Structure 1
Amino acid sequence: MAALLACETPPAPARLHTDSVNLVLGDESFQERFGRAPTEEDEEELRIRVHLEYVLERLRRRSTAELSPAAREARARSLERLEAYVRRGQFPRNDGHPDARRPTFIDSRGRICAVGYLFEQELGREAAAAIASGYKYAFIREMDSPVLTQWAATTGLELEELEMIQPTYSTPSADDEEEYGPRFSLLDPVDGRGHLSLAPGFLFDGRGDGVPVRLDLSTAFMGGCGLGAYAAVSLTKLTGAARSASALSNLDVGMAWGRSLFSDGWLVLRGGLLLPTGDEDEVGSSLNASVAAKRPSQAVLFQPGAFGGRLGTSVILGRAFCSSCTLRLEAGLDGYSPFSKALQFSPRWGAGFAYRYQYLVAMLEVAGTRYAESLSSRSRLHHSIGFALRRATGQAGFQPGLSLSVPLEGRLQRWFLGFDVTMRY
């Protein structure tokens, strides 16, 4: 019996697991930076960045006196590459392992982890993909790869130091998958994501025609295949003038489709009907023309009696120019019959740039189109520039924003101040 017990197969080692950002250091980096433990409200990218910056500084402080000149040079090169990786800020996600936090060598979108990036810089993407095929979710001490072991010996870093670098990553939520840029205020509200937005605002007009008050309601319901319906309606009221007028300025309904092009890049296509009901009298026409200054890309919606259709496309590039930046480009064409005249076409375009700092997003936008403001006027170009601030956590819920837009024609006689509460889901 003793012999049988002695010959029993030893128990399998316990599977490695951690709820922290690193197996060796835990959440020491976050505690050091913020004086508290991270919570679910803290952004995943913030946790990873703080950890990598902390480890980078810690490794730079370590003495290298015992290393050979070649090893010191290799170490310095590795740390420079790690710094470049942190600046780039494209971190993977755990997109398949049941653990809430797990290393991910290369995720399904092609994003590579910090250690994988150092490996890739020396041996190439193909070699990194080979490691990922066998050890995608493995901690370094679980990787039984001669190639990885041989490479590690050339980095000037110890295996323990590589373990200190290797972050764990959380499982992406549905909101993470849809996070391809903030909602812009001046551009078309349809960007391929499900949302419900209520946006009141005021237009201040230097011509003394009164103060138009506007209320926008926009919603979109996107399905799992990226296809869904949208609707947008605006109600305006002219106050402070000799005569006041109300106008249901537009009704825009249609379908939108969004698709991921590549990492952090999205294409959105949309098409719909233009169903404006603007007032055709002098006051109503003036009101519609004034309110159109808020969003030129929707200006044809304010043409009295117009009916038609519209097509549009947007390209949204996350991490454009920097890890916290988003670039959006859009173009479209409207075909409509304004003022009971023959069919006309109105091209429209826009561009927006957003920069995120933690939960605050600052945006600069430009939009333009070509249309006629009234029955007697000729078609001409109209442009507006806009600035906006928005609180956007990247999670589902409310995202309030404040915006200011100014028409570039007419010697800046008008400016529109608005705010909105947008719910993402």
Structure 2
Amino acid sequence: MTLSRRMAVSAILLLASLLSCGTPSTPEQLHTDSVSLVIGDKSFQARFGRPATVHDDEALRVRVHLEYVLELLRQRPTEHLSPDARAARTRNLDRLEAYIRRGEFPRNDDHPDARRPTFIDSRGRICAVGYLLEQELGREAAAAIAAGFKYAFVREIDSPVLTQWAATTGLEREELEMIQPTYSVERDYGPFFSLLEQHDGRGHLSLAPGFLFDRKGDGVPVRLDLSMAFMGRYGLGPYATVSLTKLTGAPRSASALSNIDLGMVWARSVFSDAWLVLRGGLLLPTGDEDEVGSSLNATVAAKRPTQAVLFQPGALGGRVGASMLLGRAFCSSCSLRLDAGLDAYSPFYKSLQFSPRWGAGFAYSVHPFVATLEVAGARYAETPSSKSELHHTIGGSFRFIISQDDSLQPGISLSIPLEDRIKRCFLGLDLTMRY
């Protein structure tokens, strides 16, 4: 290498060294996989004697953490504080206790970290530190901080409002950091029920074949249900349902495509572990059915009576419904769901018909399994010439949760119509993807 080339290389290396020394390093972004940046999952370990996992209930993890920190802060000596500071500290710890009792904790809406503080989430639920600030300065002050530091840890929040307020709380900055939990992404509104309406406020794609067994011996009707819903950030999104029925193993051939159900579904948390889900949609006819296909539809409508209106030949109309989903009903692993709805439709050869429907389901979860017991009913006419009557079905399902985020849930179900002295039963399989 020539002397001039060596000098050029040396000059480039010297310049790069000077530039690197003069460039400030980017601060490392804070991150934790625990419920607290400061104390980790000590609270869960102290309560249950084991580490927390992603399968533990999120609200339980947050509540246990806040209860642990509240007790810890109440035990700390306060002799060094002024009377005003001691009074402020007592007031804020009492507010924290009230916040814990209320049990409305936010979730990580869309931050890529699996666990992250969330000052105020998209549903308006506020974090513990935000709640204390809100009680003193009002919602507008809390919302202003959330606008700039929604997912920030306390030590990352560069806000004069927070700094000035923190100095009046009787709590050290480190104690506020200790209070602040992290939150996971909202994963579930409850288990996926097979017999009830499948549109429960969470996005899903489900493909479910079902097989009818009865005492007639003239073939096995096979029904294929396709159900999907796409939920937005604010709990609102479209859904669609359609079914295809085929008679197999019989001398005669028959098939029938159900009417199409299209609509919107909206879900909102009404308190701690309870969700209200509202649905509204249109029934779009797929055309007239022949006599055999119509009879086939009437046979398989009993598999899920809440959707029996879909099998009325040429029905055109609308449907509305509501569901209440109660998490941790009766126990930490239990869920309860109650359904009610009304269909109004005009089938071929008949005037406007009304069909009320209802249902209830109970689920018990032991990860990675979920078992359900369900009952559903509706008032409808099986054929265009028959009288509208009550029809009820009882069923259950067993589901295996494959993925940690509960997204892939294959299951098996059994449903039995309660009319005709239990002469029929449906065995169903499904592959459901939830998100």
* Fold shared per TM-score above 0.5: yes
Matched, 1:215 2:229: no
Give the Å deviation of 1:257. Answer: 2.9
Please name the residue that 1:235 is paired with. Answer: 245
Deviation at residue 218 of structure 1 after TM alignment: 0.5
Go from structure 1 to structure 2 and tell me whether the alpha carbon gap of 1:247 and 1:141 turns closer, same or farther (over 3 Å shift). same
> Can you list the C-alpha shifts for 1:107-131, whole angstroms capped at 9, x where unaligned?
2221111333345466664554355
Q: What is the CA-CA distance between 1:34 and the residue it aligns to?
A: 8.4
The 1:371/1:82 distance shift into structure 2, 3 A limit, reads: closer
Q: Would the alpha carbon gap of residues 247 and 17 (structure 1) be closer, same or farther in structure 2, given more than 3 Å must change? A: same
SS of the aligned residue for 1:390 comes to strand
Residue 57 (structure 1) aligned to one of 51, 56, 68: 68
1:164 counterpart letter in structure 2: M
Aligned-partner Cα distance in 2 for 1:108–1:265: 16
Q: How far is the alpha carbon of 1:102 from its aligned partner?
A: 3.7
Q: Which residue of 1 aligns with 2:262?
A: 255
Q: Is the 8 A contact 1:350 1:365 kept in 2?
A: no
How many Å separate the matches in 2 of 1:334 and 1:66? 70
2:153 alignment counterpart: 139
Deviation string 1:240-260 (CA, Å, 9 cap, x unpaired) is: xxx665532433335333445
Mapping 1:8-407, distance limit 5 Å = 14=27, 17-21=30-34, 22-27=36-41, 42=54, 46=57, 49-50=60-61, 52-54=63-65, 56-57=67-68, 60=71, 64=75, 66-67=77-78, 77=94, 80-81=97-98, 83-85=100-102, 88=103, 90-93=105-108, 95=110, 101-120=115-134, 125-126=139-140, 128-129=142-143, 131-133=145-147, 135-143=149-157, 144=160, 145=162, 148-150=165-167, 152-153=169-170, 159-169=173-183, 172=185, 176=186, 180-189=189-198, 195-205=204-214, 208-210=215-217, 212-220=220-228, 222=230, 230-237=240-247, 246-253=253-260, 255-259=262-266, 265-275=276-286, 280=291, 288-302=297-311, 306-316=313-323, 328-337=339-348, 341-353=349-361, 355=363, 357=365, 360-363=369-372, 365-374=374-383, 377-391=386-400, 395=405, 397-407=407-417
Q: How many pairs does the alignment contain?
A: 390
User: Cα RMSD between the aligned structures?
Assistant: 4.6
CA 1:20/1:181 → structure 2, altered by over 3 Å: closer, same or farther? closer
- Is contact 1:317–1:328 with CA below 8 Å preserved after alignment? yes
Query: Cα 1:384–1:148, aligned 2, differ >3 Å: closer, same or farther?
Result: farther
Partner SS, residue 423 of structure 1: strand
Please give the per-residue CA displacement for 1:295-345, whole angstroms capped at 9, x wherever unaligned: 113324445xx22323223445555786966655433223212xxx34452
Identity across matched positions, percent:
41
TM-aligned CA distance change 1:298 to 1:327, over 3 Å: closer
Mapped partners of 1:396, 1:313: distance in 2:
28
Counterpart AA for 1:371 = Y
**Equivalent-residue separation in structure 2 for 1:183 and 1:245 (angstroms):** 36
Per-residue CA distance 1:172-224 (angstroms, 9 max, x = gap): 5xxx58x555543223445676644332334454xx33484433230447597
In the alignment, the residues of structure 2 paired with residue 120 and residue 317 of structure 1 have an alpha-carbon distance, to the nearest angstrom, of: 30
Q: For the structure 1 residues 106 and 295, does the alpha-carbon distance in structure 2 shift closer, same or farther, using more than 3 Å as the test?
A: same
Partner of 2:124: helix, strand, or coil? coil
Q: Which residue of 1 aligns with 2:3?
A: none
Which amino acid in structure 2 is aligned with residue 19 of structure 1?
T
In the alignment, the residues of structure 1 paired with residue 299 and residue 387 of structure 2 have an alpha-carbon distance, to the nearest angstrom, of 17
Unaligned runs of 5+ in 2: 1-21
**Aligned residue identity for 1:313:** V
- Judge conservation of contact 2:154–2:177 (CA < 8 Å) in 1: yes
Compared CA separation, residues 197 and 63, structure 1 to 2 (3 A): closer
Inter-CA distance 231–374: structure 2 relative to 1 (3 Å threshold): closer
The TM-score normalised by the length of structure 1 is: 0.69
Stretch deviating more after TM superposition (293-302 or 257-266): 257-266
Q: Is the 8 A contact 2:276 2:323 kept in 1?
A: yes
> Which SS does the other structure have where 1:201 is aligned?
strand
Q: Distance in 1 between matches of 2:420 and 2:30?
A: 64
For residues 242 and 324 of structure 2, the distance between their equivalents in structure 1, rounded to whole angstroms, comes to: 24
Question: Does the 8 Å contact 1:105/1:116 carry over to 2?
Answer: yes
- Measure, in 2, the Cα distance between the counterparts of 1:187 and 1:25: 43
Distance 1:312 1:81, change over 3 A: same
Letter matched to residue 149 of structure 1: A
| 1:382 aligned partner, one-letter code | H
**Distance (whole Å) between structure 1 residues aligned to residue 52 and residue 388 of structure 2:** 60
